[in-house]
Structure 1
Amino acid sequence: MSAIWYECKIKYRKTDDNGVQKMTTEPYLVDAMSYTEAEQRITEEMSAYISDEFKITNIKVANYAEIHPFENSDRWFKSKVSLIAYDEESGKERKSNMYLLVQANDVKEAFDNTNQAMQNTMGDYTIPAIAESPIMDVFPYFSGEEAEMDKVERFIEVKNDKPIEEPIASATSEDESENLQEVLTEAENVTLYK
């Protein structure tokens, strides 16, 4: 994944296990092209989870080279990976560091998942540090293809239920005819990629 990740801190009133409400600030990661888009995306994402008011207290570019989610894991860990390169002129070993955000349940699993994420790396590397990250959730960017697929599926449903041309011409009401025509027009404008 090559993307720009923004760490967004959200302040809101959270109810704890005892039923007591208190103000809390939590960091989230969002994939965006700019600070403005990051603010818009995190507002949309958090509106689905938080019913009360919330405030974005900080947005900054995160220093993660890659994000690696893994199934059946609920916490995020920051793995420091040192890539080792040999300088032939000086004969010395050079290290360059990068940070991965890896999903795991504990530090040992984070180490294993980091090795799995790095398995296709051609050069040598070491993992000098792994620490649990305060990141609560990660919101990658999705294109609108899912929404377009819904339109295509709706088109196929309509097409399979009735012949395409007959329902428009013989619809019992103008509303049904217009609705079907809208679905057909939207479906024609959708481009499918394989």
Structure 2
Amino acid sequence: MNSWYTVKVKYTKQMEDGTLKRVTEPYLLDAVSFTDAEARIYEELGEQIRGEFLVTGISKTDYADIFHYEDADYWYKCKVTYVSVDADSGKEKKVSNNFLVTAANAKEAYERIEESLESMLVSFEIPAIAISPIIDIFPFNPDLDRELDRREMTDEEKEEYNESRNPPVFTASGDDEDEVEETVEESTFTDESE
């Protein structure tokens, strides 16, 4: 299962009538962590949005799968339920999964989900279909990682990074390698009472 994150982005958008309006729009992207999701949204939207934009929220979102059809622009969230039987106890359990599909309307979304899931071995129901506010979806793109020269750190680079993040700790016991010798100057005291 992919790790999908919903990232809300706030920016100034030029509307169809030419006016400028401050909007917050959600985007869905495949990432390995919240930090990666934030970095990827800046990479993906950096050239698309003119001017500055701000990431106002990131949340992990659970989707079992996403079905994209080129002929539609609206994303529909479809809840699919089916009954699963536990192999050990024999008890039945109702399982729900969320799917996203592009369609022109709810009826077409229903038909496309049925078509996409027809290979499931268990019978399923689609109890809910709702239009999603998601503007665009950015799946994992290995070409973008190559273009940005992103790669996994080597063991040597990881070690250097960890050393720079964890400086040596000096103790009060006096057995540190970088111990500095103290020199004490002798001073002569004279007794003035004599």
CA deviation map 1:110-148 (0-9, x unaligned) = 001111221111111100000000000000012139969
Question: Is the Cα–Cα contact under 8 Å of residues 28 and 136 in structure 1 kept in the other structure?
Answer: yes
Per the alignment, do residues 89 and 63 of structure 1 end up closer, same or farther by CA in structure 2, a change over 3 Å counting?
A: closer
Shift of 1:21: 0.4
The 1-side partners of 2:51 and 2:89 are apart by 60
Partner residue in 1 for 2:104: 105
AA in 2 matched with 1:110: A
Question: Is the Cα–Cα contact under 8 Å of residues 85 and 124 in structure 1 kept in the other structure?
Answer: no
The 2-side partners of 1:145 and 1:31 are apart by 13
The 2-side partners of 1:22 and 1:95 are apart by 44
The runs of at least 4 consecutive aligned structure 1 residues that moved more than 2 Å come to 85-94, 144-148
Give the fraction of aligned pairs with identical amino acids, expressed as a percent: 41
Partner residue in 2 for 1:15: 14
1:33 is the counterpart of 2:22:
no
Query: Alignment partner of 2:12: what SS?
Result: strand
Per the alignment, do residues 88 and 40 of structure 1 end up closer, same or farther by CA in structure 2, a change over 3 Å counting?
A: closer
The 1-side partners of 2:135 and 2:74 are apart by 8
AA in 1 matched with 2:95: S
TM-score by length of 1: 0.70
Query: Alignment partner of 1:123: what SS?
Result: coil
Question: Is the Cα–Cα contact under 8 Å of residues 67 and 101 in structure 1 kept in the other structure?
Answer: yes
The 1-side partners of 2:87 and 2:37 are apart by 42
TM-score by length of 2: 0.70
Partner residue in 1 for 2:59: 60
Shift of 1:71: 2.0
The 1-side partners of 2:20 and 2:144 are apart by 39
* Structure 2: runs of 5 or more not aligned: 148-194
Query: Alignment partner of 1:28: what SS?
Result: strand
Provide the aligned length of Structure 1 versus Structure 2: 147
Shift of 1:108: 0.6
Per the alignment, do residues 6 and 88 of structure 1 end up closer, same or farther by CA in structure 2, a change over 3 Å counting?
A: closer
Partner residue in 2 for 1:49: 48
Question: Is the Cα–Cα contact under 8 Å of residues 77 and 101 in structure 1 kept in the other structure?
Answer: yes
Q: How does 1:1-194 map to 2 (within 5 A)?
A: 2-86=1-85, 93-144=92-143
Say which structure is richer in helix: 1
* Structure 1: runs of 5 or more not aligned: 149-194
Instruction: Please give the root-mean-square deviation of Cα atoms over the aligned residues, in Å.
Output: 2.2
Partner residue in 1 for 2:163: none
Question: Is the Cα–Cα contact under 8 Å of residues 10 and 54 in structure 1 kept in the other structure?
Answer: yes
